[in-house]
Amino acid sequence: MNCSSAHQPFEVRSDKNSDLFAVRYRHGWTINGPVHVKHNEENDTVVCNRIVLRPVTKANECMSEAVLKMFEQDFSENDQGKCPGELGLSVEDKRFMEIVKGQHCFTNGHFQVPPPFKKLNQTMPYNREIAVTRALGQEKKMLRDESYYRDYVSFIDSLLQKGYARKIPPAEHDVRPGRVWYLPHHGIYHPKKPNKIRVVFDCSTRCKGVCLNDVLLQGPDLTNSLLGVLLRFRTDRIAFMGNIDAMFHQVRLPQEHQDFFRFVWWPNGNLDSVLEEYCMTVQVFGSVSSPSIANFALKDTADKSENKYDESVTETLRRNVYVDDCLKSVDTEDNAIILIKGLQSACLEDGFRLAKFVGNSKKGCAIYPS
């Protein structure tokens, strides 16, 4: 429509015996009018006319491709078929990718990625007092609500037992000024899961006008389009869904950067004791960079699976995962089971645990690994 000269009519011809008329434009003749449907009573079929393009020439081929691209824009996940994050990266996004690609490594069965700071040798103001004040506020709430206290302690204990957090030994308490940051935290309940608490580490709390999220690069949006994932999910007859357990927590933080993710807590959840120093050892919920880092790690897992597993495993990891949920459909139950086992195996190699499967097949649901 931007090319108005293409719509300028040069000639109009009409048929006196019908409602048809033809218009000649720069690109040729266009016929307008109703479609007359003929009914064949003998074999009960419907016959109608269709328009056939003239023999393909280079000019016609270019026009056909241009029209096709125009119609596909409403449903394409991103421009020109690029993967998420590949097109239109900002300067900061490019810097993020340089850091993650250049400094990530694989250790103890998991990806390890440093925090992508905007500046080299990033320094922060000392904010321990703010973290202590917030912790004392949580203490008052826990003393009022025994259930909240019990769930909160259980969550922190789970972080420590799984190695997602650790207690800082006295020898590591003192660090170079500006190289430590404390994360205030609080507990929240999901409206649909009133008995399940999640402790959120607040990376947006400010001290002297700055917070941790201010100094971190957010990174490009590497998440697949939800529309695309859902459309592909509806392709075949046998459907299943799985979830990557604690996806963010499967990507580790280098020890030299863990001081930027400290928090204070009572040892063994004993509120009568003195607050002590702890730190996260993994990517944190609430950190602005965690989603892009986790998605980068999963896509790297897909790339590494290319030469080890069936093509369907690689394509599923690349195109059928939305954040931490895998949605896929296949033609048979047996193929679903084979694919799930391949997905689980490929994910485990890089520390991701794909579990909690549900599906629309009784046979599949009975066999799906949990």
The pair of structure tokens assigned to 158 is 């789970």
Asked if residues 354 and 347 have their Cβ atoms less than 8 Å apart, the reply is: yes
From CA 91, how far away is CA 289, in angstroms rounded? 15
Q: What is the pLDDT of residues 69-81, one digit of tens each?
A: 655 555 555 544 4
End-to-end CA distance of the chain: 53
Judge whether residue 35 has pLDDT over 70: no
From CA 282, how far away is CA 293, in angstroms rounded? 11
From CA 115, how far away is CA 283, in angstroms rounded? 8
- φ and ψ at residue 192, rounded to 5 degrees: -90, -5
| Gyration radius (Cα) of the chain, Å | 29
From CA 287, how far away is CA 248, in angstroms rounded? 10
pTM score, two decimals?
Answer: 0.74
Minimal CA–CA distance to 262: which of 184, 199, 206, 208?
A: 184
Length of the chain: 370
Q: What is the pLDDT of residues 321-361, one digit of tens each?
A: 999 999 999 999 999 999 999 999 999 999 999 999 999 98
Q: What is the pLDDT of residues 129-188, one digit of tens each?
A: 999 999 999 999 999 999 999 999 999 999 999 999 999 999 888 888 899 999 999 999
